[in-house]
Homo-oligomer: A and B are copies of this chain.
Amino acid sequence: MINLNEVLAQVHKEIKEYIGKGKVADYIPELAKVDPNHFGMALRLRSGEEFSNGDADLPFSIQSISKLLTLTMYIQQVGLELGDRVGVEPSGNPFNSLIQLEYEHGIPRNPFINAGALVITDGLISVFKNLEDEILNTARRLSGNPTVNYDLSVAASERMTGFRNAALVNFMKSYGNIVNPIDDVLDAYYHHCSLSMNCLDLVRMFSFLANEGIDFNGNRVLSFRETKRVNALMMTCGTYDAVGDFAFRVGIPAKSGVGGGIVGVIPGVMTLAVWSPALNSQGNSLAGTKALEVFTTLTGRSVF
């Protein structure tokens, strides 16, 4: 049988030359301060066994990976039928483009582009009295780590410079696709994007995606059908404008963030998380993408 500690060590070795290559996201000033030379990786089998390597216990800004958490909460509360307010198709456009949004009358293509995630956040505000608390509690509960927290300096930094997101949410409100006040939506959105977590937190939090919807405490988070939808969405929309390339190279459902993190799922088998801050030209962690590619190649574990 494969020794996964050795596999992770081998992955780390093979991708060493890529660590620090690429470019740390600099449109959010706080993120630009992060040392690009970090690399961490963790995985959790369905059985509960965990393996990790490098900076797997160092927290980082999970950014868009948080969209996976809010989408999960939205499906729990509102159900699978996103269709009225947000689609389930890849966009073929950069994550923050307004063009398609105008042609499609304020209905974002999917919940993983910024516009779609803002609609999901808006939907959650309508459900929860205090959404920021609710998200934090959910992240802590699902990850089993009570010290998980928002990085308020990152949230503030993003708020100060997030004119594109403010444009998106105002634009959708002009179409009636945002219900709550603009500032409430942006505040909640920047909060959940600022969640600071490490790779081990992430493989625990999203272990239910590899376990037909059951979390690591044995509690049902989503139904099997809902879990399948989330995994399918990650496969077709999870890595911005690199979905096709990522599917080929890595071959598993995944969600990336501009903080350099990526969460991947081998359905029925394991959840993975990798982190390295420097990004490739498509906004995904360069060394992280490479690490997942090497991992699925070494283990023969892609879905294709």
Contacts and interface: CB of A to CB of B under 8 A. Distances in A.
Interface of A: 87-93, 97-100, 102-103, 109-110, 163-164, 166-168, 170-171, 173-174, 182, 227-229, 231-233, 235-237, 241-245, 247-248, 251, 253, 267, 302-304
Q: Which of A91, A109, A244 has the most CB of B within 10 A?
A: A244
A263 to B, nearest CB: 15
A245 B87 CA distance: 9
Nearest to A109: B92
Given A89-B243, A244-B236, A304-B253, A170 B173 contact: no
Contacts of A303: 267, 303-304
Nearest to A104: B92
Q: Which of A87, A163, A168, A229 has the most CB of B within 10 A?
A: A163
Minimum-distance CB pairs A-B, first 8: A92-B92, A167-B171, A167-B170, A232-B247, A163-B174, A90-B90, A166-B170, A303-B303
B244 A98 contact: no
A97 to B, nearest CB: 7
Given A92-B100, A99-B103, A244-B237, A170 B164 contact: yes
A190 to B, nearest CB: 14
A251 B232 contact: yes
Contacts of A304: 227-228, 231-232, 235, 253, 267, 303
A88 B229 CA distance: 23
A105 to B, nearest CB: 12
B244 A89 contact: yes
B92 A89 contact: yes
Q: Which of A110, A167, A168, A173 has the most CB of B within 10 A?
A: A167
A114 to B, nearest CB: 12
A228 B166 CA distance: 38
Contacts of A253: 304
A244 B92 contact: no
A245 B92 contact: no
A154 to B, nearest CB: 18
A110 B302 CA distance: 21
Nearest to A240: B89
Contacts of A97: 102
B231 A236 contact: no
Contacts of A247: 232-233, 235-236
